[in-house]
Amino acid sequence: MKKVSVGLIGYAFMGKAHSNAYRQVNAFFKTRVKPHMKVICGRNEKNVKEAAERYGWEEYATDWREVVDRKDIDLIDICTPGDSHHDIAIAAAEAGKVVFCEKPLANTLKETQDMYKAVQKAKVIHMICHNYRKVPAVVLAHQLTQEGKLGTIYHFRGTYLQDWLVDPKFPRVWRLEKKRAGSGALGDIASHSLDLARYVVGEITEVSGALTTFVKERPLPSQPRKKGKVTVDDAIASVVRFENGALGTIEATRFATGRKNYNRFEINGSRGSVAFNLERLNELEVYFRDDADHLQGFRRILVTEARHPYFGAWWPPGHIIGYEHTFTHVVHDLMEAIAGDTLPTPNFEDGLKNQKVLDTIERSAKSKRWERVR
Compute the residue count for the chain.
Answer: 374
| Sheet of 98-102, strands arranged across | 59-61, 34-41, 3-9, 75-78, 98-102, 126-129
Nearer to a copy of itself, 96 or 315 (CB): 315
282 or 355, CB closer to a copy of itself?
282
Smaller CB separation from a copy of itself, 64 or 327: 327
Q: Which of 65, 164 has the CB closer to a copy of itself?
A: 164
Q: DSSP characters for 155-195?
A: EEEEEEE--TT-STTS---GGG-HHHHSSSHIIIIIHHHHH
Residue 288 sits at φ, ψ, to 5 deg, of -120, 125
Q: Which is nearer to a copy of itself, 266 or 350 (CB)?
A: 266
Shortest separation between residue 242's beta carbon and a copy of itself, angstroms: 11
d(CA 288, CA 299): 9
CA distance linking residue 370 with residue 124, whole number of Å: 37
At residue 81, φ and ψ (nearest 5 deg) are -60, 160
Strands 227-229 and 235-242: unpaired
- Name the residue among 102, 114, 57, 59 with its Cα closest to residue 77: 102
The distance of closest approach from Cβ of residue 64 to a copy of itself in the complex, given in angstroms and rounded to an integer, is 22
Which of 89, 211 has the CB closer to a copy of itself?
211
Cβ pair 154, 247 in contact under 8 A:
yes
Q: What are the angstrom distances between the C-alpha of 141 and each of 73, 191, 196? A: 36, 19, 10
Please report how close the Cβ of residue 104 comes to a copy of itself at its closest, in angstroms.
18
Q: CB of residue 41 vs a copy of itself: minimum separation in angstroms?
A: 18
Shortest Cβ 226–a copy of itself spacing (Å): 23
Q: At what angle do helices 109-122 and 348-367 cross, to 10 degrees?
A: 160
Instruction: Give the shortest CB-330-to-a copy of itself separation in angstroms.
Output: 15
Cα–Cα distance between 124 and 119 in angstroms, integer?
Answer: 6
Rounded least distance, CB 55 to a copy of itself, Å: 5
105 or 250: CB nearest a copy of itself: 250
Residue 117 CA, distance from chain mean position: 21
Shortest separation between residue 210's beta carbon and a copy of itself, angstroms: 5
Taking the least distance from each CB to a copy of itself, the nearer of 121 and 368 is 368
In whole angstroms, how close is the CB of 306 to a copy of itself at the nearest point?
10
Q: Which is nearer to a copy of itself, 12 or 43 (CB)?
A: 12
DSSP state of 247: E
